[in-house]
Structure 1
């Protein structure tokens, strides 16, 4: 099966007409994206968009051999003119199958939002899943053994084209149902101005186990490609309200059944703290499980789904409490050694873990020197903890003002 992506942007395209945002301002030249449309084996066109004929010519393909044109979502705005020679565009009713004269079989997949997804099986047996903007398969996300998942007993798709950045939980559902496996080539389409183009786009796609390609790219099923493999251990550093927790959550929102290790615990009578915790919970996907604990070593040693630890600064506060580190006399008579042993144990657990893990920590020491000895002690020990954990991670990010800078990996 051969796919040519005539466009990879949202229905409005990128840059959006008249939009003054920073992402649209730099989405020019090779970074510009037409509305997503896909030509399959030169015979099947998924979504008819303005300029499709010209886009095909630029990619070295003619639309003269197209035998079927299928639409996936309502097209707002002016009607798209049907180029001469193309068959009339239409949508297949949900659940219905269509045989194309070219030998392709198409099944309409119901969505949880307006639109229709298409499962395409080529003459060679290759399988493609194409989803509309903002859509995820309705009812999918249960394991293969359950009914209603849509993938029971079938192998994963070879290629998936989906709104990975706009609906990351859709990718999580596909993984949970077995529709996306380790060898599935996941390509992000319907790209919008919410993610700046360039390195940031590539980084966010890679974190989800997907990739983005330029308009006009041709993808051959089965050809060798470097797999999109997210780093197994990532440390996200940042100051207060820098966006570090959002960045950490974003790196795992494309995976199902994430375990969220919250090290903050509960604080009786502190309404403001309870509100903070509540906002964090509301932001996380409903499928994630929360473990409120500072006992991180067993979690890291266990096998299971991805693990998000937020945050190491609160873990250190608990560790210093247990070591008596706030008392100078206790600190000098063994507290320092006990704390360093716990930090070394945690770093060793990060090194040995087989889980995908994202850790969050505060970056300190760049500003005012704390006025108290205990404050300076905490600052120093957090710096040492961050350095120890960073040394065991393949990927380290620093988040400042909501922008992530890669420090390692």
Structure 2
């Protein structure tokens, strides 16, 4: 089964007419996207983009063989003129199925916002799922509770940028697996400009392709590899925690490991903790501990550690690093052993992990010996963890700069 993406943009396209934002300005320079529309094997058209016949011609395709036009949502955005000869567009009621003469089967899938998703099965059995803009699947249950073992789709097209939680729910239901080709569509000016768009989608195990691209459903060569270990560095209030959380927003059941613990009588700290909790998905589980080695050794869902600087504070507490006399009597050796144990566990882990840490080496030299000791040891810890990570990022002013990128997403 072959699909041609006549459009990959949001309902208003990209750039949005008259909008001066950075994403729209960048799109004018070669990354423009028509509203999303997908041509399946030249005979089924999902949604309509302005000038569909011209969009098809630019992609080297024709609409002369289209026998069915299905809409996934009420029309908005630029007006669309139906080319002569195309059948009138329609929508299929949720749960109902169409059997086409070409051997394709189309089933309407319920979504959690106004609209209709479509599951298409080709004559050879390959399956793709197409979801409308701003929508996620409705009525899914976790794979372990399903009466039958779910079969992952070969390809899924959805609003990854706007609804990463929808992708997480498909993964939890077993409908998106490691070989599922996840294509981001409905890309509007809320998305970051390229190449930042591709970097973020790669972390989600998804990719974006330009308008006019044709893809074979079931070919897995371009499925991006999600890095197993990621270290996110940054200064205070740099956006490093938000970046780390965003990297796992499309995955279900994430374990969030908070190394800070509780601070009694500190309302400002409690407000910070509350703000962190509020922006995390409700499906995530939180554990407050500095005992990271056993968690890294376990099999399980993705894990986010925030942060290594607080883990180091706890480790230095345990070896008496703040007392010069005790530190001199063997503290460096004890701390080095703890860091080596954590680094070995990080290297050996089989779960997807993202860790946050402070980058303190560019600031003012601490005034105290203990402060300089902490700065030096945090630099060593960051270097050790970075050496065993496939992906390392430095975040400044909310902008993530990749320092190392082994095997993550790449432009389509």
TM-score for the superposition, normalised by structure 2 = 0.96
> Shift in Å at residue 405 of structure 1?
0.5
> Shift in Å at residue 109 of structure 1?
0.5
**Structure 2 residues without counterparts, runs of 5 or longer:** 406-412
User: Cα deviations across residues 16-75 of structure 1 (Å, max 9, x unaligned)?
Assistant: 111111111111243111111000000000001211111100000000110000001111
1:209-358 aligned at under 5 Å gives the runs: 209-223=205-219, 225-358=221-354
Q: 1:144 to 1:48 in 2, by over 3 A?
A: farther
Q: Does structure 2 retain, via aligned residues, the 8 Å contact 1:309–1:359?
A: yes
Residue 389 of structure 2 is aligned to residue 393 of structure 1:
yes
2:329 is paired with a residue whose SS is helix
- Supply the distance in 1 between the matched residues of 2:180 and 2:361 (Cα, whole angstroms): 43
> Shift in Å at residue 154 of structure 1?
4.2
> Shift in Å at residue 324 of structure 1?
0.8
> Shift in Å at residue 372 of structure 1?
1.3
Q: Does structure 2 retain, via aligned residues, the 8 Å contact 1:239–1:363?
A: yes
* Structural RMSD (CA): 1.3
2:357 is paired with a residue whose SS is strand
- Supply the distance in 1 between the matched residues of 2:293 and 2:245 (Cα, whole angstroms): 21
- Supply the distance in 2 between the matched residues of 1:90 and 1:396 (Cα, whole angstroms): 47
Q: Does structure 1 retain, via aligned residues, the 8 Å contact 2:51–2:80?
A: no
Q: 1:154 to 1:305 in 2, by over 3 A?
A: closer
Which residue of 2 is the match for residue 65 of structure 1?
65
- Supply the distance in 1 between the matched residues of 2:222 and 2:104 (Cα, whole angstroms): 27
TM-score for the superposition, normalised by structure 1 = 0.96
Which residue of 1 is the match for residue 200 of structure 2?
204
1:184-199 aligned at under 5 Å gives the runs: 184-199=180-195
> Shift in Å at residue 224 of structure 1?
5.2
Q: Does structure 1 retain, via aligned residues, the 8 Å contact 2:155–2:218?
A: no
- Supply the distance in 1 between the matched residues of 2:369 and 2:76 (Cα, whole angstroms): 63
- Supply the distance in 1 between the matched residues of 2:361 and 2:218 (Cα, whole angstroms): 50
> Shift in Å at residue 102 of structure 1?
2.6
Which of 170, 173, 183 is equivalent to 2:179? Answer: 183
Q: 1:61 to 1:197 in 2, by over 3 A?
A: same
1:12-51 aligned at under 5 Å gives the runs: 12-51=12-51
> Shift in Å at residue 226 of structure 1?
3.2
> Shift in Å at residue 196 of structure 1?
2.5
Which of 169, 176, 179 is equivalent to 1:173? Answer: 169
201-210 or 76-85: which moved more? 76-85
Q: Does structure 2 retain, via aligned residues, the 8 Å contact 1:4–1:40?
A: yes
> Shift in Å at residue 144 of structure 1?
5.0
**Structure 1 residues without counterparts, runs of 5 or longer:** none
1:349-388 aligned at under 5 Å gives the runs: 349-388=345-384
- Supply the distance in 1 between the matched residues of 2:77 and 2:167 (Cα, whole angstroms): 29
- Supply the distance in 2 between the matched residues of 1:298 and 1:385 (Cα, whole angstroms): 18
After the TM superposition, list the runs of 4 or more consecutive aligned residues in structure 1 that deviate by more than 4 angstroms.
none
> Shift in Å at residue 369 of structure 1?
1.0
